[in-house]
Amino acid sequence: MKQEIAYITSLIGDPVRTKILWTLLDGRAYTATELAICADTSPQNISMHLGKLIQANLLVAEPQGRHKYYRFSRPEVAYAIEAIGNLIPDEKHRKIVGNTNNAAIKHCRTCYDHLAGEVGVSITAELIQQKFIEPEGKTYLVTEKGSAFFSEFDIDTDELKKSRRIFAKPCLDWTERKPHLAGALGAAFLEKMLLSDYFRKTKDSRAIVITAKGQQQLYDRFKIST
């Protein structure tokens, strides 16, 4: 058992592989070359590292033409990386949050495939406050009122529950240190809000920008000022 854990941690523990995993945290698939640039190393080297991560089933690759796209094999990998992110020492932590470069990403960003950051945490708190969802052990339950709310976004919660993925659960946020909505519901919610143009993804970053429409809606629905 300890050996299995040690095998996984030693894989995660390499600086280059950490950079790969950290980059992939935004839930998108990247090509080997893109990852080589992010990790600041050679194509041969990145290929070696990606091979190890795939062999351990942390990543999967999909060839598309002469490119090959790499992404997480399952959400659990992203959760583990996020959990490690929470361990960054506080003093160092503050600096980063205060760093203006990261202001956008602190404010509003994706965590794998759901909404995180200040805005993600605020929305989740408000969903609980308005009794749309309620904490139940390690998951969230959706109330009747909540089902109606999500159906406004064209989300069928009953249908979602049938998926093999965990329906709704809290995910600890590394900047806010508070939980935000993850799981199938969290992913669906973000997807629909993107479709509705509340948010737009930025290129090359996990940051998300809030549209004028989104600002209005966040205030109307959740009394969140951005």
76 binds, among DNA, its own copies, none (CB under 5 to 8 A by kind): its own copies
| Structure tokens that stand for 96 in this block | 């980063």
For position 216 contacting DNA by CB under 7 A, the verdict is: no
For position 151 contacting DNA by CB under 7 A, the verdict is: no
**Which residues have a Cβ under 8 Å from the Cβ of 112 and sit 6 or more positions away?**
25, 26, 27, 72, 75, 78, 79, 82, 182
The binding track of 175-194 with respect to DNA, each residue x by CB under 7 A or -, is ------------x-------
- Total number of residues shown for the chain: 226
Please state the closest distance from residue 214 (CB atom) to DNA, in A.
Answer: 24
Residue 195's Cβ-side half-sphere holds a number of Cα atoms within 13 Å equal to 9
For position 204 contacting DNA by CB under 7 A, the verdict is: no
Here the contacts of 177-181 (C-beta below 8 Å, separation 24 or greater) are: 177/86, 178/121, 178/124, 178/125, 179/121, 179/124, 180/111, 180/114, 180/115, 180/116, 180/120, 180/121, 180/123, 180/124, 181/114, 181/115, 181/120, 181/123, 181/124, 181/127, 181/133, 181/140
Task: Select 184 or 218, whichever has its Cβ closest to DNA.
Answer: 184
Task: Select 187 or 210, whichever has its Cβ closest to DNA.
Answer: 187
Please state the closest distance from residue 144 (CB atom) to DNA, in A.
Answer: 25
Place of tokens 């519901």: 185
For position 5 contacting DNA by CB under 7 A, the verdict is: no
Q: Beta 67-72 vs 30-31: how paired, if at all? A: antiparallel
Report the alpha-carbon distance of residue 186 to residue 193 in Å, rounded.
Answer: 11
Report the alpha-carbon distance of residue 67 to residue 88 in Å, rounded.
Answer: 34
SS3 158: helix
Please state the closest distance from residue 77 (CB atom) to its own copies, in A.
Answer: 6
80 binds, among DNA, its own copies, none (CB under 5 to 8 A by kind): its own copies
Task: Select 15 or 135, whichever has its Cβ closest to DNA.
Answer: 15
Give residues in contact with its own copies (CB under 8 A): 1-6, 8-15, 18-19, 22, 56-58, 76-77, 79-89, 92, 95-96, 102, 172
Among 71-79, 149-157, 160-168, 218-226, the segment contacting DNA (CB under 7 A): 160-168
Among 9-17, 20-28, 100-108, 117-125, the segment contacting DNA (CB under 7 A): 9-17
Interacting residues with DNA between 47 and 106 (CB under 7 A): 47-52, 61, 65-68
Binding site for DNA (CB under 7 A): 10, 14-16, 31-34, 41-52, 61, 65-68, 113, 163-166, 187
